[in-house]
Amino acid sequence: MSRTLHKAGWSLAAALVVAGLVLWWVWPRTLEAEAVPARPADVVEAVTPTPVVSEVPTRAEPEGPRLRAVLEGEHPFHGEARVGAAFISEEDRRTWEAAKREGGGGAGPERLEDLANVAEWRPAVVTPSASGGTLGPEPVPVANRYRVLAWEPDGTFWWGDGVPESVEGLVDLGVLRARRPTGVRVRLAGARPEQGPFSVRLERVVDADSRVAERASKILPVVAHAAPVVAAALRDGTPVPLQEGVRAAPADTAARSEGALVPSRAGAHVAPVGASARSENTSVSLISGAGETQLLPLPPDPAVRLWLRSASGREGGPVEVALREGRVETVVLDVDALFPGGVGGTVTLRGRVLLEGSDRPPPGARLLGPEGEAVALEPDGRFTAPGLPSWQASRFTVQLEAPPSGRPVSPARHEFEFTPEPGATDAEVTWRVPVYRWLVLRMEGFTRAQLQARARRPYPVFLLQRRDGDGPSWLTHPADVFQDEEDGVAVSLLQPGTYRVLAAASPYEVHASTSAELGGNATERTVSVQVDEGGVPCEVHVTVAGAPVYGALVTSASTLGSLPPARGRTDAEGRWRLGRVRADSLHLEVEADGHPPWAGEVAAACEASGVVEVRL
């Protein structure tokens, strides 16, 4: 063997050894890799086949009602629409059914559905067409009745309603035709810039026939949605500002002449035919094409009353304007004719509110202006009230909260009147709220117990009297407060004088206290009362043909008009006990079922025998 071959053999042997070592190193890891579980994405789970069950067709739930209406007009619709579901309350239903059973004589509506009221109006989609548009179909809840209203910026409106035939499917209100608005166009004459802005207040003049008035009122929801400013003026008396200057009509809108319905030209604001759109806040403009104030739509009443109001708040009028349904009437309000004494100016009032005899304001005081508005009070009682009318007096009210306990300091409400000087633009005042003085009726425990024992509800009652001048006569005097206290009753006073308190156990048993004079710096006086045994016990005996009447109502009244009457019913013997009668006059009334009422003066009978015999 040559040397070369020998060398090649050794090389082959070395290569085999290296290959063996590599296989020894790799082989165990290959087995380990095969033993590692596959990734979840690579795992194929065995699925057990399930038996195929044929599907049973389920009955589809019926859809709720959907509302549809055609709005017929002379151009593509460009406004807003609302849908209302009207419901009948159970109380209204029961009342209506009972009236029909009892034969109501024509009172109330003929149909039950006419009692349905809309609780909420929802926006609705209108698809414009060449001659109006189609509302819906709009999903609506199940209801007793449905109403639809729609309007355009020029006041044209649609109104309709219907009663559904079923609770599912399509509720078709059919074709609703465009209606011309009823209204008023206001022109202002003779106004000068220095007089400031004017406004107008309006009031409905309804038809004497209630059915005609009710028909006119049906479009009030249209007014509320289409012209909220006009609706507030009709509802709350809120003045409507009159527009100043001339304002040109929009380029895409034609002017509406008096009583005529002129269609608007189609422009960029009109949705294309076939497109659905829901416009928002499309209120009827208060300004006409000529810059005049237009009040529309209005209910088609016989007339409407207008008052012209100046910047100072002074009003001229009323001016009554006859209305014709579907027409807009023009009225000229002449400033000089309606304000012959001038439109009036304003005054700024500055002042202070203080307690009488003090330099501090009443605690917890509130100041209200002429219209009931709150006027800010500073801690020292100062206030400023601008814009008061210069041609008439303004009335202010000071209100005080009642204390949680104890006597109040001043009246809960006190009024002040401010009358401006001619030509004045500023004024100052100091108003003092009066402070109570007190007349205290002291009653010891025994006296109070006697009074309570003799009284029937609502008695005992206390009454304040004031001496009439220097004579012996006493007159009933008003008092704001009768404060019940542990040892008596405190009565509030605002004027000096001589006073006493009457303690009444009934209209005919009245005990007078001692008297006391309050004047000067005196703030409190004390009086007392004695409940004695004066008078005579008396009772009422009611009979019919000698038989007693049970349950007859007996009413006794006092000659003192401020005392409430006492009432009671006779017992099984026909008797009702009056108690002690101290009065010189006693008026009695008796009523019993099936008998004419009886009335008479019975003080003498009580004094003579103690029994008032009443024979029905």
In a domain, residue 146? The reply is yes
Contact (CB, 8 A) for 170 and 137: yes
**Same domain for 191 and 149?**
no
Residue 109 pLDDT: 65
Over residues 280-332, the pLDDT tens digits come to 557 888 887 777 899 999 999 999 999 999 988 889 989 999 999 999 999 99
**Same domain for 277 and 193?**
yes
Better-scored residue on pLDDT, 534 or 489: 489
**Same domain for 484 and 503?**
yes
- Asked whether residue 128 carries a pLDDT value surpassing 70, the answer given is yes
In a domain, residue 56? The reply is no
CATH code, 95: 2.60.40
In a domain, residue 55? The reply is no
Q: Nearest CA to 568 among 580, 549, 556, 553?
A: 553
Helix ranges, 170-321 (H): 210-217, 220-226, 228-236
Average pLDDT, the chain: 82
Residue ranges making up the domain that contains 81:
66-103+111-177
Structural domain count of the chain: 5
pLDDT > 90 fraction of the chain, expressed in percent and rounded: 53
In a domain, residue 22? The reply is no
Over residues 202-245, the pLDDT tens digits come to 999 999 998 899 899 989 999 999 999 999 999 999 999 987 54
Residue 150 pLDDT: 93
The SS3 call for residue 42 is: helix
What is the pTM (predicted TM-score) of this model? 0.58
Number of H helices, E strands in the chain: 8, 39
d(CA 38, CA 34): 9
d(CA 494, CA 479): 8
CATH code, 407: 2.60.40.2070
**Same domain for 274 and 357?**
no
In a domain, residue 283? The reply is yes
**Same domain for 322 and 382?**
no
d(CA 172, CA 174): 5
- Asked whether residue 383 carries a pLDDT value surpassing 50, the answer given is yes
**Same domain for 139 and 85?**
yes
Over residues 401-419, the pLDDT tens digits come to 888 888 999 999 999 999 9
**Same domain for 496 and 553?**
no
Residue type at 439 in one-letter notation: L
**Same domain for 190 and 173?**
no
| Confidence bin at 103 (pLDDT 50/70/90) | low
SS3 per residue for 162-204 = ECCCCCCCEEEEEEEECECCCEEEEEEECCCHHHCCCEEEEEE
**Same domain for 150 and 193?**
no
Residue 244 pLDDT: 57
- DSSP annotation of 222: H
| Domain's final residue, options 488, 506, 528 | 528
351: tokens are 């002042």
- Asked whether residue 273 carries a pLDDT value surpassing 70, the answer given is no
**Same domain for 484 and 370?**
no
| Domain's final residue, options 315, 338, 361 | 338
| Domain's final residue, options 309, 338, 367 | 338
In a domain, residue 208? The reply is yes
- Asked whether residue 20 carries a pLDDT value surpassing 60, the answer given is no
Residue 7 pLDDT: 40
Residue 239 pLDDT: 93
**Same domain for 384 and 303?**
no
Better-scored residue on pLDDT, 99 or 453: 453
CATH code, 558: 2.60.40.10
- Asked whether residue 40 carries a pLDDT value surpassing 60, the answer given is no
Radius of gyration of the chain (CA): 45
In a domain, residue 29? The reply is no
In a domain, residue 262? The reply is no
- Asked whether residue 264 carries a pLDDT value surpassing 80, the answer given is no
**Same domain for 402 and 504?**
no
